[in-house]
C-alpha cells in the first residue's frame, strides 16, 4: 500500500493538510532541541516515510554533531527520502542515514539512541505495545521518545473534521495519488488508534516515565512524549 502511494506521497500530505503538516514536524523537532544539541546524540526517526520528520530533526540540530537515522519498512518511501536528502545536502551537517527495517524488530543494539521519534507512522504498527517496548529497548537510560500522530478533536470542530477526514480526504487523496484504497485506510487507522489517556497508559506500561501528550491544532494531531 505504501509503495503504491510513494510517488505522490509528499504532495498528497501537503495538499490534504493545507501544509499544516510542515508546522507539526518543525514544532515536534523543536520540542527536542536540547537532546538534538547534546554531544554525541544519536537519533532514530522511526516509520520515517519520505523523511520529512527526519529532515525537521536535522534542521533543528543545525551544525551539531547529532547522528540522525531514518528507518522504514517501505523501500519505495526510503528511495524518495534518499533522493530528497541529496537535494538538501549541506557540507556543514551530517546527512541522515536511511535504513530499511521492521519497527517491531529493529536492527540496533540495546541503549543505542538518545531520541526516537515517529511522525504519523506509529499507528500503522501491527502491535502498539510491542512497538513501544522496542523503542524502550533501543533508547539509552534517560533517552526520550516522541510520537507525533493524528487525534480526533472534540465538539463542532470534531464533527466537521470527521466529515472531511472520512468523506472528502479519501476522494482527494485517491485523485492525487491515482491509487484507490490507501486513503480510505487513513481514517480507519486513526479511529483504531488509542485515545490519549490509553496511549499514555501503554507508554507507562512499556517503561516510560514522564509520559505526556500535547495537542496540535485543536487536537487534530498531537505529540506523545516519554522518557526511559
pLDDT at residue 188, rounded to an integer: 85
Contacts of 96 (CB under 8 A, 6+ apart): 45, 51, 54, 55, 58, 68, 69, 70, 81, 85
Residue 127: inside a domain: yes
Residue 203: inside a domain: yes
pLDDT at residue 63, rounded to an integer: 85
The most confident of the ranges 92-96, 160-164, 206-210 is: 206-210
Tell me the three cell numbers of residue 79.
Answer: 528511495
**What is the Cα–Cα distance from 191 to 188, expressed in whole angstroms?**
5
Residue 11: inside a domain: no
**What is the Cα–Cα distance from 159 to 178, expressed in whole angstroms?**
28
pLDDT at residue 92, rounded to an integer: 66
Residue 1: inside a domain: no
Number of H helices, E strands in the chain: 11, 7
Predicted model pTM? 0.93
Residue 51: which domain range? 18-152+194-227
Residue 71: inside a domain: yes
Element (H, E) at 142: strand 139-150
- Say if residues 224 and 146 touch (Cβ distance below 8 Å): yes
Mean of the per-residue pLDDT values of the chain: 92
Q: 32: domain CATH number?
A: 3.40.50.150
Going by pLDDT thresholds of 50, 70 and 90, the confidence category of residue 216 is very high
Residue 108: inside a domain: yes
**pLDDT at residue 14 above 90?**
no
pLDDT at residue 203, rounded to an integer: 98
Residue 186: inside a domain: no
pLDDT digits (tens, 9 = 90+) for 33-48: 999 999 989 999 999 9
How many folded domains does the chain comprise? Answer: 1
Residue 30: inside a domain: yes
Residues linked to residue 144 through DSSP beta bridges, in sequence order:
115, 227
Amino acid at each position: 500500500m505504501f509503495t503504491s502511494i510513494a510517488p505522490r506521497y509528499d504532495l498528497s500530505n501537503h495538499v490534504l493538510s493545507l501544509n499544516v503538516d510542515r508546522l507539526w514536524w518543525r514544532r515536534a523537532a523543536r520540542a527536542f532541541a536540547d537532546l538534538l544539541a547534546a554531544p554525541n546524540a544519536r537519533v532514530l526517526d522511526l516509520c520515517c516515510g519520505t523523511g520529512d520528520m527526519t529532515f525537521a530533526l536535522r534542521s533543528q540540530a543545525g551544525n551539531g554533531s547529532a547522528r540522525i537515522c531514518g528507518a522504514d519498512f517501505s523501500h519505495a518511501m526510503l528511495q524518495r527520502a534518499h533522493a530528497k536528502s541529496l537535494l538538501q545536502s549541506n557540507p556543514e551537517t551530517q546527512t541522515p542515514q536511511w535504513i530499511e527495517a521492521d519497527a517491531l524488530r529493529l536492527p540496533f543494539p540495546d541503549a543505542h539512541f538518545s531520541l526516537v521519534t515517529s511522525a504519523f507512522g506509529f499507528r500503522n504498527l501491527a502491535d502498539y505495545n510491542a512497538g513501544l517496548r522496542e523503542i524502550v529497548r533501543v533508547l539509552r537510560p534517560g533517552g526520550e521518545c516522541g510520537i507525533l500522530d493524528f487525534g480526533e478533536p472534540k465538539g463542532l470542530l470534531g464533527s466537521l473534521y470527521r466529515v472531511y477526514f472520512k468523506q472528502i480526504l479519501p476522494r482527494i487523496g485517491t485523485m492525487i495519488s491515482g491509487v484507490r484504497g490507501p486513503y480510505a485506510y487513513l481514517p480507519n487507522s486513526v479511529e483504531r488508534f488509542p485515545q490519549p489517556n490509553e496511549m499514555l497508559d501503554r507508554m507507562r506500561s512499556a517503561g516510560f516515565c514522564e509520559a505526556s501528550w500535547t495537542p496540535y491544532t485543536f487536537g487534530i494531531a498531537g505529540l506523545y512524549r516519554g522518557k526511559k
